[in-house]
Amino acid sequence: MLLHKRVLVTGGAGFIGSHLCERLLERGCEVLCVDNFYTSARSNVAHLLGNSRFELVRHDITFPLYVEVDEIYNLACPAAPIHYQRDPVQTTKTSVHGAINMLGLAKRVKAKILQASTSEVYGSPEVHPQPESYWGNVNPCGIRSCYDEGKRCAETLFYDYNRQHGLRVKVARIFNTYGPRMHPNDGRVVSNFIVQALRGEPITIYGDGSQTRSFCFVDDLVEGLMRLMDSRDEFIGPVNMGNPTELTIKELAEGVLDLLDTPSELVFKELPHDDPPRRKPDIALAKRELGWEPGIPLREGLEKTVAYFKELFADV
């Protein structure tokens, strides 16, 4: 392993990216954080600006970037439906043009590159839990397609650059992740439920709450991404990264209410189009190849996330 590696993190000021930047700095890497701040915030990395090994650059990866780096983590793309549906054409461009530009950069400087893909490549799955061998059930014409198909195309580009150019690539399929620095208005269930509960507003559940998800704390996910990057070159993935503990959305809402003294009640609304009824990763491959599995229980992770949002709202 190279010492003092120079690492590029696109989307580095985002929720997951900012935690990854922290961990890379702790390891002793030089970190170049690139972000266009479409859904992220400078405040997520403000505490890193005084570190001499950290550099923040405003840049949109749909345009080429010319830097010298040893590794690239490509995390740039709005990941919450409320954000990626706001400008669906740009969302697809970020996934596809962004992948092309970052792969081109990696090819020029002979860097290893990791793609942050998503469980959304499985669409509304007909196989449960979802193994990496499952090709998915994705609607190419729906309101979520800009994200789902953009990420699927990005994966294709990564594998083809590996086959055609011998590029060292890694592909992680990230399942639902939560923790401090989530955007308070990103529309995801964990942040939605916590923000609504802290404000004493009704907790909004779409559908009857029986749909399931599996929630991975951000620290566990970042550890998985770094292990994947460090893994042998022959292992390129894709590899699922998420928590295989499955629970219903209603159970999650009740768990949040249990942590907070709030008058909030549960209210039920119509389920959005193409919202998958079940989502759970099969992480046998990550366990076998990376020795990785999540270790932070949901309640502990929720406590840390609630504390973050309490502090965030106290500063407003």
Name the residues annotated as catalytic. Answer: 147
Query: Kindly report the CA angle at 149 between 144 and 154, in degrees rounded to 5?
Result: 135
Which spans in 199-281 are helix H?
Answer: 218-230, 249-259
CB atoms within 10 A of CB 163: 10
Max CA distance (Å), the chain: 58
Rounded Cα distance between 296 and 281, Å, is 16
Please give the DSSP secondary-structure letter assigned to residue 188.
Answer: -
Q: What share of the chain is helix, strand, coil (3-state, %, to 5)?
A: 40, 20, 40
Query: Kindly report the CA angle at 289 between 283 and 3, in degrees rounded to 5?
Result: 120
Rounded Cα distance between 222 and 300, Å, is 17
Rounded Cα distance between 291 and 33, Å, is 28
